A and B are shown apart, each in its own frame.
Chain A
Amino acid sequence: MSTQTVTGIIEKYNSEPKSLIAILQDIQANQRHLPKDALEEVATSLDIPLSQAYSVATFFKAFSLTPKGEYCISVCMGTACHVKGGKQVLEKLERDLSINAGETTDDLSYSLEEVHCVGCCGLAPVVTVNDDLFSKVKLRGVKRILKKYGEK
């Protein structure tokens, strides 16, 4: 995604308070988190209390207040993926990346997340990395996925 300024994003939505969530989604997509000054700018421009911006930013799973890695690896923990071994895949990634689910590597390369279903349940277990989707993932295949996003 091209970089847009926070101001540009807010303007795109005409500074409408009802577009708060959409604005935050665009900032999150752009900056991989919601920086403090961005939240402040949003609150001022939309003329809403900063506390409202924060409560929305912390309520929804899509938002993060700390920076996410360049590659966001999401392991599906939906029901279909659960019965087909999604948890084992997650644990393998945790071991290989030396981080727990919900964490980001120190060099900001990878974030590891759990997601509740990406709608490809027929291809369980499923892992996504940014916009790419990997289906019927086997433990042996985890290395290959990481390799693909390894050296920048």
Chain B
Amino acid sequence: MEQLNTEPTKTTANAQKPFRMSVLVCAGTGCVSNNSFKVMEALQDEIKKHNLEKEIQIVGTGCNGFCAEGPLLVVQPDEIFYAQLKVKDIPLLVEEHFLKGRPVEKFMYTPPEGEVAIPKMSDIDFFAHQRLIALRNRGLIDPEKIDEYIGRDGYTAIAKALTEMSPAEIVQEIVDSGLRGRGGAGFPSGVKWQLCAKQDSDTKYIVCNADEGDPGAFMDRSIIESDPHSVIEGMLIGAFGMGASEGFIYIRNEYPLALERLHVAIEQAEKYGLLGENILGTNFSFKMNVVRGAGAFVCGEETALIASIEGKLGEPRPRPPYPVESGLWGKPTNINNVETWANVPIIIDRGAKWFASIGTETSKGTKVFSLVGKINNTGLLEVPMGITLRDIIYKIGGGIPNGKKFKAIQSGGPSGGCIPEDQLDLPVDYESLSEAGSMMGSGGMVVMDEDTCMVDVARYFLTFTRDESCGKCAPCREGTWQMHEILTKITEGNGTLNDLAVLEALAEVVKDTSLCGLGQTAPNPVITTLRYFRDEYLAHIEKKECQAHVCRELNTYIIHGDVCKTDGKGCGVCRRECPDKAITGEKGKAHVIDQQLCGKCGVCYDVCNFNAITIE
């Protein structure tokens, strides 16, 4: 029953159950949006129809990672993997596979460039190179059933911590494991725990940061949706180790499914006596609260997050004092990211030595990444630290779609940078990524191809940080605004070489003088694109040219009359959509753009269904 490369358990889920087959249907946000609940209902109906209820069990799991191929379904024990299932496929699937024992090839996954379907999940490149530790239960359990978590050794670590270990031993175990924060900065978690444990205070708090502000990443959502108890158990262990009796999970309001699963999990843990008074019959008590974020990126920063939990404006304050000294309501408070917490139970269970044996010298364990953008296999993956970017992109990600050329991989979100082709053999660890000008960040990786304009990307991130700057300190507030203005000027073809010099100088000032991490890292996307893609900036400035054709002001839109007439039959869509009424033509005939009237909005290019319009 083991899925390859997840951690083996001592007890196996469903071990005593008589089911001949388990059908694991992904019920993560991505697959749900692709109708997985309907698929699950259809399965239930069909199974009932054939009287298979006693033989076949259906389990709704959290995100399986391969969201782009959803809705997903995995049939155990043979690990047969089905992708992009539709409700209408279900009768045939049940009949052929579940009744006659003949897996159905046409519903299996076929790699983009391959021709044959791959039946087994662990043979699929996307899964084969992963190592699941934080995500050890993903796709294997129903996250809304605590028994399934317990069935996979869940809550044995807290039992061990409470009965066999002293708080100091727990903290030492985390120190020895080498675990570093997964929320961005990579601070050694054990050291932070030691600082908090040391504080002499009758009240201490711990916080789980599930604000996940990086636009383009979904590691934390996925962990909570697929295995909420791992986070709760991690927090319990931390609370006992540091002497805290109350915890808060601060979660984005944009994640309704994760929020709901968290509530269900907490309720069940309370019922089982794993949260509340006298946990597992000991004198350790712990209360868990959930606080919803209200949509401000800066609230992911720890001091702003604390203010927001207290019901105040989510603005950062200068540190020191650090939250471990003075946090929530002035009390010592330890904050860790979702993924950091999810690693804790298995470290206590397996021991620091085991954890420290995975990864590199300075970066231990694994890291969860969301791999998105211009890549064949988009999704969520967990890999050992030290793997190269190239392996992530080509072995797991399956390369760039449509035969396009790779240009850059962006990591670390708005605080990170873009890494070019010649650096792809870098090992993924905290130090190497920083040296390349980017950062590990929380785990977002966005792949960009030749159709992505790097000046536009820099501008995109500055739009984001400008909008998200809380405005408290001037360098960040004014600096991001000014940098955004200059970048806009360049993308519109009005930039000068002097602008470039000002941009670089500004970037340094904002980096050095801003109050919090938002401002201090906001220039990174500009700095790295200037470092690796300066030629693109120069092309925009000197030749008024955007090679990727993204910066519309620099484009000239042309309709190819013959294609328009023969393929499109002069459909007229572009004429109707053009806001400047720059296009003329009649149905059935070739259309033309009046370049004098054209406002270069690019709409015609986007809406033409026949590729009759090109950009020069």
Contact = CB atoms under 8 A, between A and B. Distances in A.
Interface of A: 16-22, 24-25, 55-56, 59-63, 77-85, 88, 91-92, 95, 115-124, 131-135, 139-140
B308 A21 contact: yes
Interface of B: 29-30, 32-34, 67-68, 70, 212-218, 221-222, 252-256, 258, 291-292, 294-297, 308-314, 370-374, 378-380, 410, 413, 444, 446, 448, 452, 457, 460-461, 464, 468, 470, 577, 579, 601-603, 606-607, 609
Contact of B379 (A19, A85, A122): A122
A80 B380 CA distance: 13
A133 B218 CA distance: 15
A119 B380 contact: no
A80 B313 CA distance: 29
Prevailing SS type, chain A contact patch:
helix
A77 B470 CA distance: 19
A30 to B, nearest CB: 14
A124 B448 CA distance: 14
Contact of A79 (B216, B291, B297, B577): B216
A21 B216 contact: no
B256 to A, nearest CB: 7
A83 B557 CA distance: 21
Given A19-B311, A119-B29, A121-B378, 19 more contacts: A21-B311, A55-B313, A62-B294, A62-B295, A63-B294, A79-B372, A79-B410, A79-B461, A82-B216, A115-B254, A116-B464, A118-B29, A121-B444, A122-B68, A123-B67, A123-B70, A124-B372, A132-B33, A135-B34
A121 B218 contact: yes
A80 B379 CA distance: 11
A55 B67 CA distance: 39
7 shortest interchain CB distances as A-B pairs:
A79-B216, A78-B215, A60-B294, A61-B295, A122-B67, A119-B218, A133-B33
Nearest to A120: B30
A141 B311 CA distance: 41
Nearest to A28: B294
30 contacts: A18-B309, A21-B294, A22-B291, A56-B312, A60-B294, A60-B296, A62-B253, A79-B216, A79-B410, A79-B413, A83-B448, A83-B452, A91-B601, A92-B603, A95-B603, A116-B468, A117-B215, A117-B216, A120-B29, A121-B216, A122-B30, A122-B379, A122-B380, A123-B34, A123-B70, A123-B378, A124-B373, A134-B33, A135-B30, A140-B609
Given A82-B460, A116-B464, A18 B310 contact: yes
A59 B603 CA distance: 34
Contacts of A122: 30, 67-68, 218, 370-372, 378-380
